[in-house]
Amino acid sequence: MRRAPLPWTAWLLIALVVFLADQFTKLLIMGAFTLGEAREVTAFFNLVRVHNAGAAFSMLADAGGWQRWFFTALGLGAAGFMTWMLRAHAGERLFCSALSLILGGALGNVVDRLLYGHVVDFLDFHALGWHFPAFNLADSGITVGAGLLILDELLRVRRTRA
C-alpha cells in the first residue's frame, strides 16, 4: 500500500527545521566561543569557532568580498528553484527529503552571509594531526541531501531498467 504524498508545504517545514537548528547552533557557538577558540570534545572531534567568507573548504575566502554577494545570490536562486521543485514533485518522498535538507542548509548559510559577511563553522573532526575543514549543520544538511539525491537517481535508474 502506497503512502499518500505529503503536501509541498510539509517539505518546506522540514527545510525550516534544518534552518532553525543550524541558526540556533551557530548562535550558541557565537555566544560561547571567541573567534578561533577550540574545545576538545573527543580525541577526534572539537567544537571550534571559525568564520568562512568563501564556499566549501574556504574556496574563494580571500577573493576580496565579491564572493559574499555571489554565494548569497547563488543560494537564493537555488532556494527558489528547490522550492519550485518541491511544489512540482511533492509526492516523491526521497527526492523531496533531499531537497528539503539542501534548502534548509542553503538558507542557513545565506542568512549568515547576509548578517555577518561570512558563514560560521564549528564542527571540527580530526585524526593524526589532520583536520577536516570545519563545517556546520547547514553544510551537513546540504551534504546529506546531496547524497540522498544521488541515491534517488540511482534508484530511479534501477526502476527504469527493471
Three-state secondary structure readout of 57-113: HHCCCCCCCHHHHHHHHHHHHHHHHHHHHHHHCCCCHHHHHHHHHHHHHHHHHHHHH
Mean pLDDT of the chain, nearest integer:
93
pLDDT (tens digit per residue) in 115-156: 999 999 999 999 998 999 999 999 999 999 999 999 999 998
d(CA 34, CA 49): 7
Indicate which residues carry an active-site annotation.
121, 139
Q: How far is CA 100 from CA 7, 79, 134, 155, 156, in A?
A: 13, 10, 23, 19, 19
Q: 143 vs 97, 147, 152, 159, CA distance in Å?
A: 12, 6, 14, 24
What's the pLDDT tens digit per position in 45-57?
999 999 998 877 6
pLDDT, residue 1, reads 56
Per residue in 51-78, pLDDT (tens digit) is 998 877 677 777 778 888 898 999 999 9
Rounded to whole angstroms, the Cα distance separating 54 from 61 reads 4
Locate 26 and state its grid cell.
Answer: 551557530
Length of the chain as a residue count: 162
